[in-house]
Amino acid sequence: MLNRIHKYTVADGFLTLMSLYFYYTFGASFLVVLLISICVNYLLSFIITKAKDKTIKVLKVIGVLFNLGLLFYFKYLGFFVENINSVTGANLSVKEILMPIGISFFTFGQISFIVDRANGEAEHYPFLQYAMYTVYFPKLIQGPIAFHKEMIDQFRDTKLRSFDPDNFAKGLKSFIIGLSKKVILADTLARVANYGFEQTFYLDTLTVIVVMLAYTFQIYLDFSGYCDMANGVSLLLGIKLPVNFNSPYKASSAKELWQRWHMTLSRFFIKYVYIPLGGSRKGKRRTVINVLIVFVLSGLWHGAGWTYICWGLMQGLLVVWDDLGIVGVRDDNPDKKKKYLLREKPFITVPGAVGNAATFFMFVVSLVFFRSKNLGYALGMFKRAFFWTYPGFLTRCAGQLEMAENYVLRQIVTRLGIGSAGMVLMITMIVYIAISAFVMTRKNTQEIIAENRYDLKSVICYTILAILSLISLSNVSTFIYFKF
């Protein structure tokens, strides 16, 4: 409404205040941290405007250290002290610090701004525009990590302030798809995954495989579902967020997977860590070290724990293996333009399906580190996965799907004498995993909304999907990436 009467500054102020209120609902203390972060970074940007070259370099270091220091205090201090105590035998203690939600996302966004300001790649924006970029509520708490220019350029485009029915329709579709991913599939699979990783030392081999698959599908559906919802809400306002996922489980190599998975985090590390370290310009040995540094940092970004470091290191080693060029993947669709270059002149070439299966398998294995409480739990999960046992724990795992949505089906089956309630739950678990696997092979959300299909059949399908999602909200959990 404010944009319609050309009150653009007032509209920006309103959106900024509402975004701050949105963040305030998670905790008043969190809002204070966010405001301090915004003000300090903006002050540094202002000082850079007046500073000379040598001083600018110092200010860049100060800005990066301030942002990393803020992140370290809230996210890593406890982990650091714990490891100091383990190594030295000291008895240092630190109060439990509640981490502001989304701090990893808005901190990285501001690091990119300060570095670009110091490098002469960003202007000193008006305070309101900078604040709106930082606190823009669709991306604030769980990303994607948007760069300042791609957002502020859109805020400044007056053409985007007019109501666009096409964007609005795409936004609704994206939001409904994301919501269904989250509440219908991800939250249901979470029941299986959470139970399995809690009961690691009691599981049998078959249950471990099911639990690992459940979590692999859950984490993708949960995070990409959020990104779809965030982009959907943003499109309602006429703003497009950067794409964060592009069908990662279709990748045929680890390197390709990371061109498709959490794409905004990958591009951040490439631009601000990998390239400044020398990238691939300083020989193979240095390239390997740079890749491993990036992936260890990526692991640490996700959480303060050795499990995350191991996950990052494993992914880094897989990417290094790709770079060695020993094994290549044949393109099974030669008529289609291949977007991703996998390897050049390999010693061995395998079919695309083999590369895809191997990549998916290794990612599933790596996520055991990502999800486990500690390394002991992770090793316990691997032991049960690769050394066959079958005490029959699978039925207990399926029992976690005893939810309201399945009540009617269970009653029908048991009253008609077709089977037991346990059998219904087992079949339900298999069906949910199968549906999730099927979804991975279909077009992703960006591809779907680009089709611009608005026929009666599509409207009915989206309406049914929205109703099912709303019914399933009784089981909603927090998003996995909220804690990052």
What residues are labeled active site? 302
The terminus-to-terminus CA distance of the chain in angstroms comes to 35
Sign of CA dihedral 344, 345, 351, 357: negative
The position carrying tokens 């808005």 is: 106
Comparing C-alpha atoms, which of 318, 334, 316 is closest to residue 326? Answer: 318
**Beta pairing partners, 329:** 350
Residue 306 and residue 175: Cα distance in Å, rounded?
35
What are the helix (H) ranges across 89-204? Answer: 103-118, 127-135, 137-140, 148-156, 165-180, 187-198
Supply φ then ψ for residue 327, to 5 degrees: -115, 130
Residue 191 and residue 475: Cα distance in Å, rounded?
10
* Half-sphere exposure in the Cβ direction for 75 (13 Å, CA): 22
Contact 469, 176 (CB under 8 A): yes
**Beta pairing partners, 327:** 348
Contact 226, 445 (CB under 8 A): no
The three-state secondary structure class of 167 is helix
Comparing C-alpha atoms, which of 317, 347, 311 is closest to residue 329? Answer: 347
Residue 193 and residue 370: Cα distance in Å, rounded?
12
Cα maximum dimension of the chain: 82
C-alpha torsion 352→354→355→359, nearest 10? 140
> Exposed/middle/buried for 457, CB within 10 Å: 0-12, 13-18, 19+?
exposed
Supply φ then ψ for residue 96, to 5 degrees: -65, 125
Residue 121 and residue 393: Cα distance in Å, rounded?
57
Contact 152, 129 (CB under 8 A): yes
